[in-house]
Amino acid sequence: MSGVLERPDELARIAAALDAAGRGEGKVVVIEGEAGIGKSRLVAETRAMAKERGFVRMQATGDEVESALAWGVVRQLIERSIARYAGETRAAIIAGPTGRAIEALDKATPDAGDAEVARTLHALWWVAVDLASPRPLLITIDDAQWSDPPSLRFLSYLSKRVGDLPIALVVATRPPPDRLGPLAELTVARHVERLLPRPLSRDGIAVLIAERSRTEAADQVVDAVLAASGGNPFLAESLLDELAVLDRSTKDAATAETVRGLGASAVSRTLLSRLSPTALALAKAVAVFGARTDIWAAGSVAQLPESALAAAVDELVAAHVVCVEASQLSFVHPVIRDSVTSTLGPVDQATLHGRAAETLWAARAAADRVAAHLVQAPAGTLDSAVAIFTEAATMCATAGDVVKAIDYLNRAVEVEPSNAKLQSLLGKLLLRNGDPRAARRYLLAAADSTSGRERAELLGTAATATSAVDGPVAAATELMHALDDWTDDRSARLALDARLGIIRSYLPSERKRASQHLRGFADFPGDTPDERILLALLAQCGRYEVTPSADVRRTAERALRRGALLKDSVGQADPLVGWLLAMMSLIAADGVGPARDEIAGAQDWVRRHGSPIEFAMVANVADFLAWRCGDLPAVEADADGVLAAIESEDLTPQVVAIRATAVTFGLYAALERGDLAGAQAMLAEWDESSRNAPRVIAAMWLEAIRARIALELDDPLAALEHALWLRDEMVAADLDPPAVPWRTPAALAQLRLGDEAAARELASDQLALTRRWGAPTDLGAALRLTAKVDVGQGARRVETLTEAVAVLERSPARLELARALVDLGEAYRVVGRRTDARETLNRGGELAASCGAVVLRNRVAEVLQALGDRPRSLVAPGQDSLTASERRVAGLAVTGRSNRDIAQELFVSPKTVENHLGRIYVKLGITGRRELGRALA
């Protein structure tokens, strides 16, 4: 009872969290306090309350030794859940998401990076979602301070994503020592309810004593117990247990002196002193082995004969030191375990850990379980130490625990300092962990002992470390020297060429030399991963340098090689980056057909295997394609989908760049719909949320949208300022791709400011640039701009716009064509060609409506009304009321996909899909899915 004494507020808040989760409003509760304060009892009460409410329950307990085991706590959660089932039910669970999640936990790849961890986290999240679908789910983690880092990362990941799920996550922990890492982040997060159980008051101690002794205690004894325990429930109970053993009455005031003599810190030692040598030896073995220790393994480590083992177990259970469950031993409380551990000197600990390692290795336990003991054992304990440490390091690295992986590899390198494989793995992990200086030393040492492609890859990775230490120019120089000195296999050196190209792509000062270098690979067919990366870099170079778009398109297609580059990218530490370079170049060059095929393949892969970040990266590419083609509903839906998918992700540079790109497209769509206020709100939200975020190049493109918003607000000076800022940033980066036409808002701003000559000069420059580039989309847009600034030249404007329409007819840009048609229709009206004006405007209006361009469609209606026409409505009012995201969900629902299937495809929660469908039904005036197809027809 002591754990719930004086805890009415904590229990009420936990009950409220469970009730909220039962309504589908997920909650996260952290119970934080010192050892013995009653956290475990509160967790037990939470589970009891959840059982009464019909919750599915998952539980795990952290353990100091098991904190070295990758996914240890997560495995407890999953394996305990599976253990409840058998036969066909168990087989069905293993065949579903839970089985796939376990499979993801078991994958161990030496070069796996954060992307692989992200995929595993997402797979585990879906396990929680599925478990919570029939009934609300409670997940409890006790002693979370001893959880392994990958499991803590999952708890943090899950905590940010339960808001619209019927899930309650309750985590009990001691205060994090350094306020860093995922556990510390969890305890202070704004979305987390934090409970801080206070010590028992004097009245609470009095009630505790009365409950235990069934009599009212003397005031002096109450005061003494309170002083000795500090109000800590477990320590107070331990004192009372000791008084019972000593047969001292709590009614006797003189017992207070006994309490003061004992002191809380001495109670555990007194308890241990009463144990027999065999029982104490077994307790020490359990302390070293960790929670849930197999009885026979503990007996082996304690070197107890079978005849003595059973008696030792019985003695420890009777003394309330350990408890037994399914042939496994666990300490009754972590404080007792701490007391046992404190009796072990350094030599004793090393010896017992050595025996534990030998016992586990003989039992063929997992490498990370063996290594957790071997790392604390005397040198030479196992002849297979290097192999064990290497495998354990790989397991930890795959799970994202890079620090522990480095620790294991350092131990392996101590045994075999010249092992190139160990040096290579250690160097890569040090680089991943942010220690490029040490990483470079090991990578170069490994390269000296290898040859061929392996040596090239090591030198390339070492150059990445050099870039972090001395800058990218030094890294490029290092790679050029390596290439000059290369005498090995010629095909292997392409890995060095590719890395040099990647490093140079970030350096404006190196862009010309990079271009010359990459041109040497222009004739490559793209048969190998290195060739494909080099061709992707060459395509990007061509796009930035305004090489003819037809050449860029062909290069990008060879780089992509019908999905081959995508498959290359999937296994790399920076997934999809090479694919992205080629795709952006291909789309910019109007290669719509091949781009659609590539995007479809990437979306299919991401749906089955990807993480939210990978989904967002692919969706941003799809958004770029939709933007080029003028499909505004798709632009808006993709942008919304990206922002929804990564809403809970940490603001790393990669995530910030993804968000900036999605916001850019979202703003563009809002302005085309005429939602200026919505665009301003979206931009203000971006500015606020990214105030302390890393600076990324992708945020640069937002300046073009800022300029356009300023023009909408009739502030040409501000528009010009934004456009010229963008120009300066692009010049500094040695970029001027036609697809980012900073000259367009600058020219329009100059025109409004009355400087027609400056406007015409900017338009002329843009036209010359796009003629050199040659992509019809950009050339047509430049011709439109030229006509717009050609003030007072009616006939010449008609001629220019006629050319723009003809060019855009050959492009995929339907909205750009609609704009050109509308401009041409208005130009026809100005020169008195009313019939031509009507025909052209009607076609432009139909295209604008099909693109979802409300502003342009309304503009057409106004002009046609001025001509005496009455334009017809082109969009059904009900459908028009749906947002782009709602239209996408509705379209998927019509195909028969379940809410779960739609959620998986869009990387959102099933509840989000359910909410979308609810709003869709209301807007369309229907009652459910059966009527959806008819309403959308």
CA-CA distance, 568 to 530, in Å (whole number)? 9
- pLDDT tens for residues 624-649? 999 999 999 899 999 999 998 888 88
Phi, psi dihedrals of residue 416, rounded to the nearest 5° = -130, 80
The amino acid that residue 740 corresponds to is V
Distance CA 425, CA 518 (A): 30
Q: How far apart are CA 677 and CA 266, in angstroms?
A: 69
- State residue 138's pLDDT score: 96
Given a contact cutoff of 8 angstroms between Cβ atoms, the answer to whether 711 and 719 are in contact is: yes
**pLDDT profile of the chain (937 residues), mean per 10:** 76 96 94 91 96 94 84 86 72 70 70 76 88 91 92 92 93 84 83 92 92 87 89 87 86 89 69 87 90 88 91 90 86 84 90 94 91 92 94 90 93 94 95 93 94 90 91 89 86 86 74 82 90 91 89 95 84 63 94 94 86 90 95 92 88 86 94 93 92 80 93 96 92 76 93 95 95 95 95 88 97 96 94 92 93 91 84 54 84 89 88 89 86 82
Give the model confidence (pLDDT) of 345-382 as tens digits. 999 999 999 999 999 999 999 899 999 999 999 989 99
Contacts by 514-517, CB closer than 8 A, 24 or more apart: 514/541, 515/541, 515/545
Q: CA-CA distance, 281 to 549, in Å (whole number)? A: 77
Q: What residues does 167 pair with on adjacent strands?
A: 137
- 3-state SS of 862-915 is HHHHHCCCCCCCCCCHHHHCCCHHHHHHHHHHHCCCCHHHHHHHHCCCHHHHHH
Q: Which residues pair with 674 in a beta bridge?
A: none
Q: Give the pair of three-digit tokens for residue 513.
A: 């030399």
Residue 851 structure tokens:
């693109």
CA 777 to chain centre: 35
In this prediction, residue 2 carries a pLDDT of 45
Q: Which residue has the tokens 């030249």?
A: 793
Question: What burial letters (b/e) apply to 364-392, b meaning 16+ CB within 10 Å?
Answer: ebbbbbbbbbbbbbeeebbeebbebbbbb
What pLDDT, on the 0 to 100 scale, is given for residue 385? 94
The residue among 770, 842, 782, 790 whose CA lies nearest residue 816 is 782
> b vs e for 533-556, b when ≥16 Cβ sit within 10 Å of the residue's Cβ?
bbbbbbbbbbbbbbbebeebbbbb
Q: What pLDDT score does 499 carry?
A: 86
H/E/C letters for each residue in 338-370?
Answer: HHHHHCCCHHHHHHHHHHHHHHHHHCCCCHHHH
Q: Cα dihedral angle (541, 545, 548, 550), rounded to 10 degrees?
A: 30
Residue in the block written with tokens 């995007």: 599
Compute the distance between CA of residue 599 and CA of residue 749 in angstroms, rounded to an integer.
36
State how far the alpha carbon of 390 is from the alpha carbons of 104, 110, 164, 461, in Å: 19, 9, 41, 20
Q: Are the C-beta atoms of residues 698 and 508 closer than 8 Å to each other?
A: no
By three-state DSSP, how is residue 810 classified? coil
141 membership: H or E segment, kind and range? strand 137-142
Sign for the CA dihedral angle at 818, 819, 820, 823 comes to positive
Tokens of 531: 């060739």
Tokens, residue 639: 């942008």
What is the SS3 assignment for 211?
A: helix
- pLDDT value at residue 234: 86
Helix (H, G, I), strand (E, B) or coil at 163: coil
Q: What residues form DSSP beta bridges with 37?
A: none
Length of the chain measured in residues: 937
Q: What are the distances in angstroms from CA 667 to CA 226, 272, 640, 681, 703?
A: 63, 69, 11, 10, 11
Kindly state the helix (H) or strand (E) to which residue 57 belongs, with its residue range: strand 56-61
Strand partners, 169: 28, 139
**Is residue 680 within 8 Å of residue 674, measured between CB atoms?**
no
Please state, as a whole number, how many other Cβ atoms lie within 10 Å of the Cβ of residue 306. Answer: 8
Sign of CA dihedral 642, 643, 646, 651: positive
Estimate the crossing angle of helix 529-544 against helix 494-504, to 10 degrees: 30
Coil, strand or helix: which one is 231? Answer: coil
Cα–Cα dist 808/786, whole Å? 15
Q: Identify whether the C-beta of residue 498 lies closer than 8 Å to the C-beta of residue 533.
A: yes
Q: Is 758 exposed, middle or buried (0-12, 13-18, 19+ CB in 10 A)?
A: middle
In this prediction, residue 428 carries a pLDDT of 93
Burial status of residue 88 (CB atoms within 10 A of its CB: 0-12, 13-18, 19 or more)? exposed
The pLDDT assigned to 289 comes to 87
Q: Whole-angstrom Cα distance, residue 114 to residue 502?
A: 20
Rounded Cα distance, 122 and 127, in Å: 9
| CA distance from start to end of the chain | 64
Side-chain half-sphere of 115: how many Cα atoms within 13 Å?
A: 20
Q: What is the model's pLDDT at position 1?
A: 40
Which residue type occupies 493?
A: R
Calpha distance 525→535 (Å, rounded): 9
Q: How far apart are CA 639 and CA 754, in angstroms?
A: 36
> What are the Cα distances from residue 491, in Å, to 477, 514, 578?
21, 19, 19
pLDDT of residue 110: 62
CA-derived radius of gyration, the chain: 34
